Structure 1
Amino acid sequence: MRSRAVASVVFAATVGILMPLIADGQAQADEPWCAASQLRLTIQAEPARAGANQRTASLVLVNTAGESCVLQGFPGVDLGAVGDHGGPASLPRTGQQPHRVTLAPGGRATSTLTYVTGTSTPGEVILTPPDSTTQLRAPWPADLGAITVWPEGATHPGTFVGPLH
């Protein structure tokens, strides 16, 4: 009899813990993930510099659909036609924790691109939204100037991308 009572208490406690999590998951499931087809990419220079030879730019995803959608994580970011080889350069990500972003129609999510000034001007930014394989493209704005993807002699990259917020 005692084992039934203990099992009942354990079951009740488990249900009490899991039900809010299940309910939260159901609420989150009601909003679809943002598909690349409903997003537009723009790039904006930031007025403040990150450091002496570093700058930042905002990679902005705008929800162009007529309904809300959700993004979470890091975008995949490649810089097209950069450096001596003229090919794309994939950018590493920061160690920052990503958070869930709900975009209303016309809403924006931003990822910060931090880059080292240099001698190569990328032709374009190629961005893959989280949970997508479809790429969005935008020309590299002239006002961002030239960059260095991986400074010579650096022990860690000076050019990298942060999570969406």
Structure 2
Amino acid sequence: MTGFPDPQGGGPDGDGADPVEPLLRQPPGYLDAPPSAFAQIRRRAARRRRARAAGGGLAAAVVLTGSVYLVGTLHSRGTDEVVGPPAGDSSTTAASSVPTPRRTPPSSAPSTPAARRTTGTPSSTPTEAGTPTTGTPTRGGSTGHPATTPMCATSQLTATLGGGDAGAGSLFRYLVLVNHGSTSCHLTGYPGLSMLDAKGRQIGAPADRQPMDYTPVVLRPGGSASDTIHTVNQQGTCLPASARLRIYPPGNTASLDFTGSVTNCDDLFTVTPFVAGSTGNPPS
């Protein structure tokens, strides 16, 4: 006798079923899930879905905001006035931004003769050719107004290199335009100006523009307007001196070539906007 149930169904004394057997052979069973367990699982899953949806919406908003910012930076909204474009032949370009003569270093010159944005501020008050802006009109002045006078065409202008001034290593020459036509006209802003050698080939880059305010200048027949060319006196590296100069009057695509010797040293070659008279800008 071993104390274990007999496989033949007898007890330890062979007289019937073992009373311990039902305890040893309990039917298998499983514990029930805790109350509300499935509801908690569903709530957690719902929270995870909402979190994923919110994260996706935030990412989309960030991408959209970045796209709008990028598009905004790629589109300039400048409102600078475009002064008459001195367009020219393949060897000539007009000037862009210009450092202030006698005060600031020059800025870089652009390489194309397309229309330029001015670095000065135009004024609506016209200046009469040969007339101080605060005095009485002198010879060459006109009572006309830009609104009633046409822009001066290249064909009715004569260009010359006038007098000049010097100081602190700088050289200043006056570029003078005279209206040789029979009707009044006006000039506004900067010319395009380049140096040429004796064979008409361009020397270096065109003149930069000095940032200055300017007003329209009305030229009656025989009236003159002028600006100032600023260079330095034999400092740094110098280009060959010019034999001639080429000017594109403001707003014109035709140019004038005329005799004039100017030397670009230390990469300083600037021009101011036109004013009335023949003594440059500011008038001396």
Matches of 1:54 and 1:95, distance apart in 2: 18
Counterpart of 1:42, as a letter, is T
1:29 to partner: Cα distance: 3.0
1:42 to 160, 163, 170: 160
Greater relative CO, 1 or 2 (CA 8 Å, sep 6+): 1
1:44 to partner: Cα distance: 1.2
% identical equivalent positions: 30
Structure 2 residue matching 1:97: 3-state secondary structure: coil
Structure 1 ranges of 4+ moved more than 6 A: none
Gaps of at least 5 residues in structure 2 are 1-123, 125-144, 276-284
Q: What residue in structure 2 maps to residue 128 of structure 1?
A: 248
Q: What residue in structure 2 maps to residue 161 of structure 1?
A: 271
Matches of 1:161 and 1:87, distance apart in 2: 17
Structure richer in helix, relative to its length: 1
Structure 2 residue matching 1:37: 3-state secondary structure: helix
- String of CA shifts for 1:107-142, please: whole Å, max 9, x gaps: 00001001112352112110000000110111114x
State the TM-score, normalizing by the size of structure 2: 0.41
Q: Pairwise CA RMSD of aligned residues?
A: 2.1
Higher CA-based Rg = 2
Kept in 2: contact 1:74–1:98 (CA 8 A): no
Q: What residue in structure 2 maps to residue 95 of structure 1?
A: 211
Gaps of at least 5 residues in structure 1 are 1-20, 22-26, 152-156
State the TM-score, normalizing by the size of structure 1: 0.69
Equivalent residues in 2 for 1:103-142 (5 A)?
A: 103-118=219-234, 119=238, 120-141=240-261
Q: 1:28 to 1:161 in 2, by over 3 A?
A: closer
1:76 to partner: Cα distance: 0.5
Counterpart of 1:45, as a letter, is G
Matches of 1:28 and 1:100, distance apart in 2: 7
Matches of 1:69 and 1:92, distance apart in 2: 25
Q: 1:87 to 1:28 in 2, by over 3 A?
A: closer
Structure 2 residue matching 1:29: 3-state secondary structure: coil
Matched residue count = 125
